[in-house]
Amino acid sequence: MSRHRKHQPSPLYRLRHETPMKLIDLYRRKSFVFSIEVFPAKTAEGMETLKQTLGTFAKFRPDYFSVTYGAGGGTRENTHALATHLQNKLGIETMAHLTCVSHTGQEIEVVLRQLEKSGIENVMALRGDPPQGSTEFRRPENAYNYACELVAAIQKRGGFGIGAAGYPEGHIENPDQDADRHFLVGKINAGVDFIATQFFLDNSFFLRWRDQLAADGVSVPLVPGLLVPTSLKQLTRMADFCGISIPNKLRIQLETHHTDPEAMKQIGLEHTSRQLENLLREGIPGIHLYALNKLATVQHLAPLLPYSSKNLLAPCAA
């Protein structure tokens, strides 16, 4: 009989969220929302270590976690397992990433049902990256072609809050920023509740993009994504892959100290701290922190956030 028993959320989860919560409710209710994006480990041992680390993350009271999906859905099972742990063991609202690349509509429905059974009711709807080894995106037969189609299908189905990605510097495959904003508006019209951006290192890109969207009549929360650069090699690889500009001053600082990992980490933390302080003055609705599963990133930036006293209560149970 227990085999068919519906999963029951932990007492901590029930205490914090007496009723189901869509993330848009957080953005409507709070003046500032702090979210952390993490990715699942590839091995069982790695997952156990990661869960312990994220238990420490939880002490900084993020409003929600988001869990990535991997290229072509390559981490699907681990994404579900980690999201379930965060939602039901740590008691923190969790958004699971869902990509339509390489998935049919029927497969998407299977994933959504699994998430529902685990009490997860928020998804980040993405087209996603091609499977590893692929050089370009090809639409699988009977699959969605664009994120806006996935958004529309989830919205029509019901039951989930929906986030989507925004690209202040334009998408790597569509550097025409005017056209890219047009596609973003299409996703919003299809049913997106809020937008979390790809990381950027120069705030002027985000602020200009935000103001242009406001002029276009967009009113959903536009949440800046921040990432702490701690390695020039890693940052260059990620920036090239995502089409992100690296400010000259930051590049020179990292190049100067490229043989000193601690110095590079401190340079990155200071750069992101300055970004955050400037964005806070601009009245952002929150930040979406690409923590790369690194505790030091959260430890450094969390004290800078405009927390209320409720955010600083006793740590969550790990």
Catalytic residues: 37
| Spatial contact of 229 and 268, defined as CB atoms under 8 Å apart | yes
Rounded Cα–Cα distance for residues 235 and 126 (Å): 23
What is the SS3 assignment for 266-298?
Answer: HHHHHHHHHHHHHHHHCCCCEEEEECCCCHHHH
Q: Which of 257, 254, 258, 207 is nearest to 228 (CA)?
A: 254
CA 93/CA 84 separation, integer angstroms = 10
Question: Alpha carbon 305 to chain centroid distance?
Answer: 17
Two structure tokens written together for 43: 């091995």
Backbone angles phi, psi at 283, to 5 degrees: 75, 35
Q: What CA–CA distance (Å, rounded) separates 316 from 289? A: 19
Q: What are phi and psi of 277, to 5 degrees?
A: -60, -40
